[in-house]
A and B are shown apart, each in its own frame.
Chain A
């Protein structure tokens, strides 16, 4: 058993022990006065008290008074979980002039009174815990909280409305922001929407000014068509590698005039247009949508003739280059670039993916041509969409009846169990827009109508007055076989109208599937890159669902928007602002304090076997080849203890968990009462 050298032995150990009643929480099951009387007799204990509420102001003052009056040099409080009040008591200890790490907290609530039903057993356990804590705290050493400086620049990953708002907030606060977006333009899903609920604001009209601001703000470096490939470092000091994909167009020279597109050898657009969800077509050289930011075209090397024919010579007429003229923005030799940046904080705002409706074959998506997803319909009704806002079917005809099916992929054990939160509202919105843009009868099929936000109920009321048919019943099947003459050639929705109390068959021409929101396909890869966790549903995990919704378990990395869970635009913007504020807290304070439970290597003992290096989940251990010893970066170390346990020569030690501290605690538990 190795004992760390401690040059600071304080002479006589004088422990003050306190057991808290916590009202009835602890006192109902643990005989606190008895425990206090027991502790009084333990070696090193100078005074022992029980008290109703230790965390209260009088409670904390009691500790401070006792430290001064009785010359205490160790304090033990037996109460609730350290997660709640360790910080409180450490602060109280420090205020009385004692190093806060001479304080030790033991949990007799969550670990004892709340899980026992026998008062005697609970009290005996509390005595054992007290004994262990008192034995341990004698070995505690004075430790200093480490301060790590914070680099003032910020990385925002994802250029949807969340990333845009976070970036603008930080930029306006005077911080330098890198905004990295995977698609050729920022805007995210919101750029695809036609109108937004509940106000029916045109999405592009409210989004594009912000996009434009991002594009021109001096504090924002916008890297579109780029992806983060590596993140190294620790809070305040991240080194991020970004891969900038080749557009084959020089961003600085292109003015967005789009002459190249008009003059492309392809007279007609031929290739599926991703922005329009495959409903429209584009040419090999294209701009994602008219208001794209940056206003720069790009070339798709998979279909551009120049690339397809393999040689950058005169196989293709290169009419685009000609049309560009002396701007000379097109550059077929452009290569992918790798850039490295240093930032102190990161905001992850990578958004969501829509549920793939073909996973539910009963609804016929991909089988019947006139079954659409909600996002496809957003493009249909949009004035800058593939049909100019006209609601037409694949064959160009106009639908007489449209069915909108809620909860596609959501609230379903077989696909996604959660409610996607926005679909009821957007289904109402689509019902409104479909009625506005066509003469069709519109039917909405729902299980529950979820309209919780501000003015959302009002929106639902409005829809009720517009003649949309609302049928409460989850659709089981969309079929194409007819039972009556009116059903011939139609898609038939068979559903139980649960409110009216009978089963109905409703013939429609068009079916709209309100698909749910799910995590992006590469969420797992992304979370590993940023050292985050995912919840059971696959969305990124926040530190605390109520009190820390934008923080992650990794300091310096924050979340904003739908990547954390399905949400609408108002909540996304609010969350993006919150994430920016959290980043500002770190940046403006300038440093971050680290819990000193870090591990360190006893260099003389280290045998240079390197077993510890790959084990560290935080890549905090490096090997110094020159010295032949491992070293641990204190700022990266999270105190998980893996290296400590694994070191074959026992030469890694962890503050607050040194051998003598741990073994004395064990001995304390096992000793007879």
Chain B
């Protein structure tokens, strides 16, 4: 299986732990990822605040490049995933926008036909790889680990393509396949505040507090995320949250890191050291693969 890979600015920056853990996990599953050459920033939410047409055009450049590259585009960052999908929708639904995109792209010799699927890792893992194949690769089941699955808002709203909009379960099922216990977490799609932790600190911190507190109350050992900004908010502001609200902090990891752990991949490759709040829970040591046990009989 091969996909064209769109990292986005965050996965090269503050969210590098996501890329660092996702690449070895994908490789372990036999999935080839080719980074899209010369990709540009998708614009996230910030550019849309300035100019809608320009924001779409920026994102469309990536889509056009991906089309040239061929294959399906994998966008792990939740914001990139949303922006690229949104641009695709606008391209198809608003003729005026399509005209602007066509015009701008043709100015630099690019063309976008509107076809390239934009996929999320959870979508690929559950639908293309399948949970059975993933279970086969588990060497260190995460038995005893209680995880609060936190999806955030962007991969389910406003478009819910591969999962339910109100109660998504792709990550829940993935984590269970890794042997972890997934707690019932009603805030799984509640907004983390996005960039507000930096700009309107008081509001942002409180939103982070609400998420952490509820996870802690329900006995979670960690939160599992899909979005670099969510991870940043829940993780990097631990000092501010503690100062304001007391000790409610729970470590936040990427689901790919948990996958890597369960597969028995070398820990150094999973970027746990990038987190501000250490995640120190570890599963029991790897057991021998099933195949060799059967062979010895």
Do A's and B's CB atoms come within 8 Å in the complex?
yes
What is the interface of chain A, defined by CB distance below 8 A to chain B? Answer: 361-362, 479-481, 483
B214 touches A481 (CB 8 A): yes
Is the C-beta of B159 less than 8 angstroms from some C-beta in chain A? Answer: no
User: What is the size, in residues, of chain B's interface with A at 8 Å between Cβ atoms?
Assistant: 6
Closest to B186 in A: A481
B158 to chain A, nearest CB (A): 13
Partner of A483 from B167, B186, B210 at Cβ < 8 Å:
B210
B186 touches A479 (CB 8 A): yes
B167 touches A361 (CB 8 A): yes
B185 to chain A, nearest CB (A): 9
Is the C-beta of B279 less than 8 angstroms from some C-beta in chain A? Answer: no
User: Cβ of A361: which chain B residues have Cβ within 8 Å of it?
Assistant: 166-167
Closest to B218 in A: A481
A10 to chain B, nearest CB (A): 61
A590 and B187 CA atoms in complex are apart in Å by 68
User: Cβ of B210: which chain A residues have Cβ within 8 Å of it?
Assistant: 483
A480 touches B167 (CB 8 A): no
User: Cβ of B186: which chain A residues have Cβ within 8 Å of it?
Assistant: 479-481
B47 to chain A, nearest CB (A): 29
B202 to chain A, nearest CB (A): 16
Closest to A483 in B: B210
9 A-B pairs with CB atoms under 8 Å apart are A361-B166, A361-B167, A362-B166, A479-B186, A480-B186, A481-B186, A481-B187, A481-B214, A483-B210
User: Cβ of A480: which chain B residues have Cβ within 8 Å of it?
Assistant: 186
Closest to B164 in A: A361
B172 to chain A, nearest CB (A): 15
Closest to B187 in A: A481
User: Cβ of A362: which chain B residues have Cβ within 8 Å of it?
Assistant: 166
Contact pattern, B 104-145, Cβ under 8 Å of A = 1, otherwise 0 = 000000000000000000000000000000000000000000
A172 and B104 CA atoms in complex are apart in Å by 78
B215 to chain A, nearest CB (A): 10
User: Cβ of B166: which chain A residues have Cβ within 8 Å of it?
Assistant: 361-362
Contact pattern, B 188-217, Cβ under 8 Å of A = 1, otherwise 0 = 000000000000000000000010001000
User: Which parts of B149-205 form the interface with A (CB within 8 Å)?
Assistant: 166-167, 186-187
Closest to A364 in B: B186
User: Chain B CB within 10 Å — which of A479, A481, A483 has the most?
Assistant: A481
A481 and B214 CA atoms in complex are apart in Å by 7
- The 3 A-B residue pairs whose C-beta atoms are closest, nearest first, are A361-B166, A481-B214, A481-B186
Contact pattern, B 13-37, Cβ under 8 Å of A = 1, otherwise 0 = 0000000000000000000000000
A479 and B166 CA atoms in complex are apart in Å by 12
A479 and B210 CA atoms in complex are apart in Å by 14
User: Cβ of B187: which chain A residues have Cβ within 8 Å of it?
Assistant: 481
A547 to chain B, nearest CB (A): 41
Given A361-B167, A481-B187, A481-B214, 6 other A-B contacts at CB below 8 A?
Answer: A361-B166, A362-B166, A479-B186, A480-B186, A481-B186, A483-B210
User: Cβ of B214: which chain A residues have Cβ within 8 Å of it?
Assistant: 481
Closest to A361 in B: B166
A543 and B216 CA atoms in complex are apart in Å by 62
User: Cβ of A481: which chain B residues have Cβ within 8 Å of it?
Assistant: 186-187, 214
